[in-house]
Amino acid sequence: MSNSSHAAKTDTASASTKSSQRSKTGKLGKPGPLALYVALMKPKIISLLLITTVGAMMVAAGGMPPLPLLFWTIVGGTLSAGGANALNHYFDRDIDGLMYRTSRRPVPLGWVKPQTAIIFGALLTLLAFVVFYTQVNPLSAMLSLSGGVYYIVIYTLWLKRRTHHNITIGGIAGAIPTLVGWAAVTGELEPMAWALFAIVFLWTPPHTWALTLVVERDYARVDVPMLPVVVGPEETRRQIIIYSWVFLASTLILFPLRLMGWIYFIIALLLGAKFMIDAYRVRKEGTRAAALSLYKYSLLHLALLFVAMVVDVRWQFLL
């Protein structure tokens, strides 16, 4: 596509989007300042990151960690993830307004100025570092900061719009909270911490690609090279199968490595079986409904996997 035709396409889409935004704004009504700032932080994403952070803390502690430590880690994690997400609102503002899935975000709707989003994100990131450094420990502070920087610089600004490997490489950012949680409790990174990191890292591709199959047109509209846009839906479904098997193996190998016991292994096996059934359903049916089902289940799967770890570790501790 030539630059001129792409520009014309973008201008047309932008004008259409702005018109629809005015309509949406009028229908929705502008939320209050607090709701807008919370929206900038993307609380749904934060909740999943906190599950893996707290899960890693409980595995490291063999149960419930000290409540003050748990509290400050949750506060720091919320601020860190929220800051990175707010910065993402700023850097992706040009495409968010053109994508149906993101067109109702505060910045493209004009409810929050771009400058406000970047200042808010930077302040949250700084505050998160201070909280981790002073109330938790320096290692967790550095890991948390590195996760935010990786998400913005490596994924958002470099990988996302340049390569269809954006998710496989960029998934590192989403896996770092496991290291943060472990470091918060122990002050170091042991083999189990890296095992948790690997699980979340390998979970990310099939989870995200399932979503991209649902919203493929959105990414194609703004020329973001997500896997279905570049290689097509059929190859994406094949890649989901491959990565799902690798992810399943990463969850089960904890048992033969003696990092987890029988309770975890049985639960992980059952959860993994359901994951693979859904993944093969995506391959067989090729529908958005099947892809959306896998995407939603993958969220529940990861949460339950960490619950299983905590139960297993606590049981072993009691024995």
Regarding whether 149 and 200 lie in a shared domain, the answer is: no
Q: What is the pLDDT of residue 314?
A: 86
Regarding whether 290 and 148 lie in a shared domain, the answer is: no
Structure confidence by residue, pLDDT tens digits, 4-57: 344 334 444 444 444 444 444 445 678 999 999 999 999 999 999 999 999 999
What's the domain range around 215?
Answer: 192-319
**Structure tokens that stand for 274 in this block:** 């359901």
Instruction: Find the length of the chain.
Output: 319
Q: How many domains does the chain have?
A: 2
Average pLDDT, the chain: 91
CATH of the domain at 265: 1.20.120
* Helix, coil or strand: residue 106: coil
- Mean of the pLDDT values across residues 245-264? 96
Q: Answer for the pair 103, 24: CB distance below 8 angstroms, yes or no.
A: yes
**Among 147, 167, 172, CA closest to 82:** 147
* Nearest-angstrom CA–CA distance, 201 and 170: 9
Answer whether residue 293 is part of any domain. Answer: yes
Structure confidence by residue, pLDDT tens digits, 198-232: 999 999 999 999 999 999 999 999 999 999 999 99
Q: What is the pLDDT of residue 29?
A: 79
Which residue did the predictor score with more confidence, 4 or 119? 119
- Mean of the pLDDT values across residues 289-309? 97
CATH of the domain at 76: 1.10.357.140
Asked if pLDDT for residue 290 goes beyond 70, the answer is: yes
- Mean of the pLDDT values across residues 182-202? 97
Whole-structure pTM value: 0.89
